[in-house]
Structure 1
Amino acid sequence: MGIDLQTEKQLKNNENVQDYLNKVLGLIEKETVTAEEAEWITKETVNGFRENVNPGFLEYRKTVTSGGQFAAVEWSDSGSCIKDLQGKEYIDCLGGFGIYNVGHRHPKVVKAVQDQLNRQALHTQDLLDPLRAMLAKVLAEITPGDLKYAFFTNSGTESVEAALKLAKMYSDRTTFISTTKAFHGKSLGSLSGTAKGMFRKPFLPLIPGFRHVAYGDIDMMRKTFEACALVGEDVAGVILEPIQGEGGIIIPPAGYLKEVRALCDEYGALLILDEVQTGMGRTGKMFAAELFDVVPDIICLAKAFGGGVMPIGAVVANEKVFSSWFENPFMHTTTFGGNPLGCAAALATISVLLEEKLPERSAEVGEYFLNELRKASVGFEDKVLEIRGQGLMIGIEFHKDEIGYEVSKGMFDNGVLVAGTLINSKTIRIEPSLKISYEEVDQVVSIFKQVLAQVEA
């Protein structure tokens, strides 16, 4: 019985796909590539984004030429730097939007993941997996106050989703208070807490019950609590970033978080701190909550939690709140959450942060970095509005979006990777590895000053 034309065509297509896969897998094996291979990879990358990923990224990326045929394609990394296919090195001050707190491919994190992979990659979902239990125990020890039970996720937005569901399970309340300029993710629940209209409008209506008040305005927060109570829509929880990241590195007024905590206690609401970007030593403490002497009911983690090697997030809550999931632990689950590779990475990451005292280092180097950037901006007040930060979470705000973009591009051209923030596009972020050297900091500052002099106001 002969093969029909459609089947023959499919078989031929499969052969071509397999040939392509073999070529790509062969390249993955290589530590270095030839100039010819680099040219092929670049062409495939640009064409792949145009035809199969999203052509909009080619317009967005400052790394792609106007002709669209050449782009800086990342290929390797180590320490505080990345290299592109052409061998050009960049000091990474973007840090994957805050994931490389312990540096790129820290050997202790990589080894833990490789060792676990050699034994078992994923868990069965049925037997008890040991690393999840051990990681949860460590989190109970290092997180603030009485936070005790952990649920593991794969990303920041998943952590926020879990936190919101946990808060809803805890009480029969459905009202949440978030803030202006907040960023909590882009899945429907977390997007309901996010504040930028551009991200929200196409997906309205979102999850009902969210109110947004001005970040840092405790009087507006109090009045919103009062109004919600008067109309029978009592607040289930307040979700806040201790320091707003995508909002432009916004540090709250003195005493604000403690006053929010007091309001939550007064009205029987939960305080959810989104530490997806501020956690794991970024702000000079292991968790930013410690900076403000505040203990939340729920804390959300991700980004740097996996050491820049594996994606993993977590929600950690006190027993009173988390116990609402005791009766049926399957009320909220995720197949890959708390997988052995992610847990191994997180355990090693916490070990590195403690062993190398990276939160303390972040505070010291961050203060130096912030002061040097401010010195470099003197004389450019017509371009730079403000430079602010905490630890190695620094924002440079310009008078106009266009200036921020040109400075970002100019620094990239000179070997420093930075990027804007999603809510406040006038602000570029500085979020390097917590292991960045003073020499690298000086180099970044020098390039920043050089670029500022070249950019038009």
Structure 2
Amino acid sequence: MTKSEQVLAKYEAYVNPGLARLLRLMGLSSVEREAAGSIVTDWEGRRMIDCVGGYGTFAFGHKHPRIVQAVEEQLRKMPLSSKIMLCEPMADLAERMARITPGDLTYTFVCNSGTEAVEGAIKLARIATGKPKIVSMLNSFHGKTLGALSASGKDTYREPFAPLLGGFVHVPFGDLDRLEAAIDDATAAVILEPIQGEAGIIVPPAGYLRQVRELCDRKGVLLIADEVQTGMGRTGRVFACEEEGVVPDILCLAKALGGGVMPIGAFVARPRLYDAYKDAPLLHTSTFGGNPLACAAANAAIDLLLEEKLHEQAAVKGTYLLTKLRLTADQYPGTVADIRGRGLMIGVEFANEAIGGVAMAELIEQGVLTAFALNNLRVTRIEPPLTITKQEIDQVVDAFAKALEGGRRYAVS
């Protein structure tokens, strides 16, 4: 029995049989062994360019030496916090967050994941305003814990767990009129992704985020920006909301914040919102949140991002990749419906799911890892590390051409 067969058997017996079946059907049943930079290597020695990127986690590539070194140094000092004494790495991270986030975002709560960041943001919005209602977007994705799932806008994942938390309503992303109609006197906040990721890399109309900010100000409600996937340089800015000069009241972050080495999440808020926690600072806590190892990774990641201007690199490389992908798609009429995105957050929407399935299998065969958007199986995401080289980008484009060649028999005339 090969290593892949052994691990797949364990998935079927002890992890999740449905997931094992799905991975087998998608041609993803090989076992990852090691990774560095943009490349993942399996147990058979096959090298793959990672364009899934942990759904946006590996902005700095796999095991970036500088981030690994920071974690190793902290590991030798103190891996976890006593939680009673002051933690220097967490304090340093909070200071960095106040410096790099837009506007007067100041106070940071550090947790373990994106869904925890969203949970904390929802709780803060409710306690700060004394209001229960949260307006979210259809097809949005904010996580799968109960509160974050209540905010998420896809019934496929919501309905099996109903009833969810009350007070959540959903409106179409990009529709300002519907959003305004949904806001009432009971509304605490609007939560949205600056670019919807799992919906299929949906970029809103120009000016939409700024108009939402203005609407929230006029209505006296908070704006929560979920930058779990878009943050840390992914879209060509340090944070995607900066594209239109928007300062949210609460900003959620995770994934790439850990530098591709440690899991970490955080939400950052304006000072006035934290008045609710001044007299009761232990209302929202986390045992492992803000642990020294994760904070060391995040501090190193932020320094690396800014010093090497990786967000600016993402803008340039993203324009190059997007242009090459579109030119390639033009050579295979009827296979691709749209290619969209910003920076190195790109979605390829195929003309139908049959083409998408063939194309994704061919991409994997050609040594490129991609994945479908969770809420739209016609869209495959392309989210490589911001450190990807031009040569690697060209290899991805060549693989994309072969993928479309394989799927052209299902092309729409």
Which of 37, 42, 49 pairs up with 2:4?
Answer: 42
2:122 is the counterpart of 1:160: no
2:308 is the counterpart of 1:356: yes
Q: TM-score under structure 2 normalisation?
A: 0.97
Cα displacement string for residues 163-213 of structure 1 (whole angstroms, at most 9, x for unaligned residues): 000001101110110011100011110001111111001111111011100
Structure 1 distance, partners of 2:346, 2:150, is: 26
More displaced stretch, 439-448 vs 321-330: 321-330
2:315 is the counterpart of 1:344: no
2:139 is the counterpart of 1:187: no
Match of 1:398 in 2: 350
Match of 2:383 in 1: 431
Correspondence 1:100-115 to 2 at 5 A: 100-115=58-73
Match of 2:332 in 1: 380
Cα displacement string for residues 333-381 of structure 1 (whole angstroms, at most 9, x for unaligned residues): 1110000000000000011111111000000000000000000001323
Question: Unaligned 5+ residue runs, structure 2?
Answer: none
Which of 146, 163, 168 pairs up with 1:210?
Answer: 168
Question: Could you tell me how far 1:402 is from its partner in structure 2?
Answer: 2.5
Question: Could you tell me how far 1:320 is from its partner in structure 2?
Answer: 0.6
CA contact (8 A) 1:64 1:72 kept: no
Cα displacement string for residues 398-452 of structure 1 (whole angstroms, at most 9, x for unaligned residues): 1222221221111001100000011111100000000100111111101101110
Match of 1:140 in 2: 98
Are residues 145 and 360 of structure 1, via their aligned partners in 2, closer, same or farther at CA, if it must alter by over 3 Å? same
Correspondence 1:121-270 to 2 at 5 A: 121-225=79-183, 228-229=184-185, 234-270=186-222
CA contact (8 A) 2:81 2:292 kept: yes
Cα displacement string for residues 69-107 of structure 1 (whole angstroms, at most 9, x for unaligned residues): x93100100011100000000000010111000111000
* Count, aligned residues: 409
Question: Could you tell me how far 1:323 is from its partner in structure 2?
Answer: 2.3
After TM superposition, the runs of 4+ consecutive aligned structure 1 residues lying more than 2 A away are: 39-44, 62-65
SS of aligned partner of 1:347:
helix
What value does the CA root-mean-square deviation take over the aligned residues?
Answer: 1.2
Question: Could you tell me how far 1:63 is from its partner in structure 2?
Answer: 7.0
Larger radius of gyration: 1
Q: State the AA in 1 paired with 2:400.
A: F
CA contact (8 A) 2:138 2:173 kept: yes
Q: State the AA in 2 paired with 1:54.
A: N
Cα displacement string for residues 247-285 of structure 1 (whole angstroms, at most 9, x for unaligned residues): 110011111111111111111110000000000000001
SS of aligned partner of 1:91:
strand
SS of aligned partner of 1:397:
strand
Structure 2 distance, partners of 1:279, 1:240, is: 13
More displaced stretch, 399-408 vs 337-346: 399-408
Which of 388, 392, 405 pairs up with 1:440?
Answer: 392
Q: State the AA in 1 paired with 2:139.
A: K
Q: State the AA in 1 paired with 2:254.
A: A
Match of 1:58 in 2: 20
Match of 1:371 in 2: 323
Match of 1:277 in 2: 229
SS of aligned partner of 1:443:
helix
Structure 1 distance, partners of 2:322, 2:170, is: 31
Cα displacement string for residues 113-161 of structure 1 (whole angstroms, at most 9, x for unaligned residues): 0000011110011111111111000100000000000001101000000
Match of 1:411 in 2: 363
Question: Could you tell me how far 1:40 is from its partner in structure 2?
Answer: 5.7
CA contact (8 A) 1:62 1:409 kept: no
Which of 25, 34, 40 pairs up with 1:82?
Answer: 40
CA contact (8 A) 2:39 2:48 kept: yes
CA contact (8 A) 1:242 1:278 kept: yes
Structure 1 distance, partners of 2:125, 2:104, is: 16
2:287 is the counterpart of 1:335: yes
SS of aligned partner of 1:190:
helix
CA contact (8 A) 1:284 1:359 kept: yes
Q: State the AA in 2 paired with 1:109.
A: I
Structure 2 distance, partners of 1:217, 1:258, is: 13
Q: State the AA in 2 paired with 1:209.
A: G
Structure 1 distance, partners of 2:393, 2:128, is: 46
User: What is the percentage of aligned positions where both structures have the same residue?
Assistant: 48
Match of 1:315 in 2: 267
